[in-house]
Amino acid sequence: MGKRSTVLVTGGAGYIGSHTCKVLSDAGYRPVTFDNLSLGHERSVRWGPLEVGDLGDPDRVMGVLETHRPIAVVHFAALAYVGESVQHPEKYYRNNVCGSFNLLAAMAATGVDKIVFSSSCATYGVPSRVPISESHPQVPVNAYGRTKLAVEYMIRDFTHAYGLRAVCLRYFNAAGADLDGEIGEDHDPETHAIPRAILTALGKSAPFEIYGSDYPTPDGTAIRDYIHVCDLADGHLRALALLESGESFAAVNLGTGRGHSVQEVVAAVERVTGRPVARVAASRREGDPPELVADPSLARRVLGWSPRVTDLDAMIATAYRWLNRETTED
C-alpha cells in the first residue's frame, strides 16, 4: 500500500472529530489530530497521531502544518455551548474566530489549500421557514452562531484572495455513537438532550430539564433535526472528496430533514432503555430557536450523501449502548 495522504483534523479528540478520524482512516487517509484536549479526550485519538496544541498559538499551528504537510484540513476545533456563548461572548470570539484566523493564515502561508469547516445551523438564527435550505438568510441569534458565520465569511474571503478551496458543512444536532461501539459522546458538562436523558434514565444524572414548554410547536417543546454522528463523519469524507475533485466553495446542510421535539426524544429514550426519565420543567435558554430542521437536498445532489441512521430510536440505541457501557465501567 502506498503512502497515505495526511489530513489535519483540528478538534479531532472531540465527539464529531474523533468519529471523522475513524472514517478518514477507513477511507485510506492518515488523520493527524490537532487538539488542546480542553474538551476532547486523548483516548479518542485512535486512528492517527496526536499533536497537542491550541489554535490560539499561531507558531504551533504553523509548525504542525509544516511538519505533516497535509493535503487538507478538517476544522472542528471550537467552543459550542449556545448558552455559554451568550454569557461569555469574548471567550467564543477569541477561540472560534481568532483561532480559525490563525489556522487559515497558516494554511495560506504553507500552501495547504483545502478545508472542510464544521459550521452550524445556528448561523440561520430563528428560521422564517422550515425546513431550512442553504438559501435561507443567515441571521444568528447567539454568539456561537455569529462566530460560526464570521468564520464562513472569513473562509469565503480566503477562497477569493488566496485560492483556498472550502466546504462549509452546516449541520444540525449531532447524536448517537460509533456503530462499532469504539467511541461515543463524552462531554463535561453534558448539554445535549439525548445523552442527558439517557444518563437520567440510568440514574447517573439529575432529573432531565426541559428548557421551555411554551414554544409555538405541537407539544410546546423545541424541535430539532437529530443526525447520527457517523452520518456526519461520512459527510465530511464526502466533502473532502468534493474538494479533491476541484470544487472551489460550497456551503451545505447536513441533516435528516425530520424534526423531533424534546418530549418525543424523552419518550424515545424511555422506549429504548426501558426505564423512566424523571423530568422537570425549566425556562427557555437564551438564544434557542423553537424549531431547526434541515432541507438536506443539496447534500444529496453535490455530495452524494444521505443519512443511513434516520430512525430516532435506532440513533438513541447507539448512544445508550455507549453510555451504558461507560457508566458500568465507571
Q: Per the structure block, which three cell numbers stand in for 40?
A: 476532547
Residues of 298-311 as b/e, b for ≥16 C-beta within 10 angstroms? bbeeebebebebee
Please say if 171 is a catalytic residue: no
- Of the residues 29, 144, 211, 320, only one is catalytic, namely 144
**Antiparallel, parallel or unpaired: β 223-224 and 260-261:** antiparallel
DSSP 139: B
Q: Which residue stretches of the chain are H helix?
A: 15-26, 58-68, 82-87, 89-92, 99-110, 143-162, 193-201, 229-244, 262-273, 297-303, 312-329
DSSP tally for the chain: helices H, then strands E: 11, 14
Longest dimension (CA), the chain: 58
| Angle 256-41-64 from CA coordinates, rounded to 5° | 95
List, as one string, the DSSP characters of 60-118: HHHHHHHHH--SEEEE------HHHHHH-HHHHIIIIIIHHHHHHHHHHHHT--EEEEE
Contacts of 327 (CB under 8 A, 6+ apart): 199, 202, 204
3-state secondary structure of 216: coil
Length of the chain: 330
Give the residue numbers marked as catalytic. 144
